[in-house]
């Protein structure tokens, strides 16, 4: 089932989306869904080559207009330049998706200072930088923001201190911006995907032992698909969600409700060097 089997094809007609991380994985799917329903999009990340390729494929698949602009979300000057290019091309921004992120499994005691900072900078500071740069335009368009979080920090997920700290901050920022920017007509919501198959994040976080046991522990008995996130994206971006703000929408088949040990414990924690070597070898 695609989003067009559920939503009208023109519900986002004339809207302009700015999507960080829009050249790959989940956020590429989110972008494609918006294009399919009539929006135009600016996709941004560090690799212009990957963005250009994705933009060309999405134009062909949807007939929508897509602009690819390279920017590192950690660098406010690059972010501001990318936003300027978006405005030069489309004149406005209606929908901001903050999806750029980095992740890998690492035991806290072997995570370097720089590694922790890197992930927090991409996920959390990046979300702030891009939201701030887009704010004047979202205010003009009475637009909306969809942040991309996770469910890893709802419980203490092993080897995820960096991402858990960053995404908890994003959840908090979602609520804060919803309150501060609501009076300007800006809605701020957040999508929290569970394990989404065939994505970079999924392959990086899958337990080294494999996926079967993990799959069986998910209440809906399947891993998520990028399509599942696309459906939620079109809903949150559309008028259907016009009275929703500050909401964190979990799309995970019930996974976070049920505690399951993804990784062996305590042996892996007691031998961090061994698990770190295994995890690095997996990438
Ligand atoms: N385990 C432990 N530490 C790691 C690591 C791993 N798998 N990968 C990188 N690091 C450390 C590096 O060693 C470095 O720390 P150091 O300077 O103390 O050695 C630090 O993290 C920064 O790494 P670097 O490669 O310079 O950062 P980057 O900005 O080029 O890349 C990453 C950012 C590390 C997050 C990279 O994995 C990335 O680009 N990810 C994007 C894709 C992704 O993660 N997708 C999943 C989204 S859920
Ligand atoms: P992905 O394809 O690797 O997406 C991450 C994107 O971020 C890439 O397009 C990457 O592009 C971009 N990026 C990384 N660092 C950047 C930086 N410094 N500046 C700008 N862009 C940067 O991974 P994914 O699995 O689809 O994840 C997408 C989002 O979903 C992330 O927010 C992730 O936390 C969230 N999520 C994923 C899962 C899952 O199961 N996959 C589960 C929960 C949450 P460049 O390399 O070109 O910069």
pLDDT at 57: 98
54 Cα: distance to centroid of ligand 2 (angstroms): 14
Q: How far apart are alpha carbons 192 and 170 in whole angstroms?
A: 11
224: left (phi over 0), alpha (psi -120 to 50) or beta: beta
234 close to ligand 2 (CB < 6 Angstrom): no
Domain boundary assignment for the chain: 7-282
Asked if residue 238 lies in contact with residue 7, where contact means CB atoms within 8 angstroms, the answer is: yes
Q: Which residue stretches of the chain have pLDDT < 70?
A: 207-210, 260-270
- Report the predicted TM-score, pTM, of the whole model to 2 decimal places: 0.96
pLDDT at 214: 85
Question: What pLDDT, in 10s, does the model give residues 174-232?
Answer: 999 999 999 999 999 999 999 999 999 999 988 666 678 888 889 999 999 999 999 99
pLDDT at 208: 61
Q: If you compute the radius of gyration of the chain from its CA atoms, what whole number of angstroms results?
A: 18
Reply yes or no: is the peptide bond before residue 74 cis, omega within 30 of 0.
Answer: no
Compute the Cα dihedral for 70, 34, 95, 175 and give only its sign.
negative
CATH superfamily for domain 7-282: NAD(P)-binding Rossmann-like Domain (3.40.50.720)
pLDDT at 165: 98
246 Cα: distance to centroid of ligand 1 (angstroms): 30
> 187-193 and 40-45 as β-strands: parallel, antiparallel, unpaired?
unpaired
pLDDT at 279: 80
Which ligand 1 atom sits closest to the C-alpha of 102?
44
Which ligand 2 atom sits closest to the C-alpha of 74?
18
């Amino acid at each position: 089932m695609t989003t067009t089997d559920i939503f009208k094809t023109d519900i986002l007609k004339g809207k302009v989306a700015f999507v960080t991380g829009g050249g790959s994985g989940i956020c590429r799917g989110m972008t494609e869904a918006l294009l399919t329903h009539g929006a135009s999009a600016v996709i941004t990340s560090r690799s212009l080559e990957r963005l250009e390729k994705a933009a060309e494929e999405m134009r062909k698949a949807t007939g929508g207009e897509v602009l690819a602009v390279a920017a590192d979300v950690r660098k406010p000057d690059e972010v501001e330049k990318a936003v300027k290019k978006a405005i030069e091309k489309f004149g406005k921004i209606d929908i901001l998706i903050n999806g750029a992120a980095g992740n890998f499994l690492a035991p806290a005691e072997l995570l370097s200072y720089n590694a922790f900072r890197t992930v927090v900078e991409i996920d959390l500071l990046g979300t702030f930088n891009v939201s701030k740069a887009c704010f004047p335009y979202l205010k003009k368009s009475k637009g909306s923001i969809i942040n991309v979080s996770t469910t890893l920090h709802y419980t203490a997920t092993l080897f995820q201190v960096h991402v858990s700290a960053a995404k908890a901050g994003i959840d908090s920022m979602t609520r804060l911006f919803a309150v501060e920017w609501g009076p300007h007509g800006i809605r701020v919501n957040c999508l929290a995907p569970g394990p989404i198959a065939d994505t970079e994040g999924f392959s990086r976080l899958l337990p080294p032992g494999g996926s079967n046991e993990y799959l069986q522990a998910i209440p809906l008995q399947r891993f998520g698909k990028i399509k599942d996130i696309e459906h939620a994206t079109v809903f949150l971006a559309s008028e259907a969600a016009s009275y929703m703000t500050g909401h964190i929408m979990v799309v995970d088949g019930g996974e976070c409700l049920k505690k399951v040990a993804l990784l062996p414990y305590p042996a892996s924690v007691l031998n961090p060097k061994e698990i770190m070597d295994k995890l690095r070898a997996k990438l």
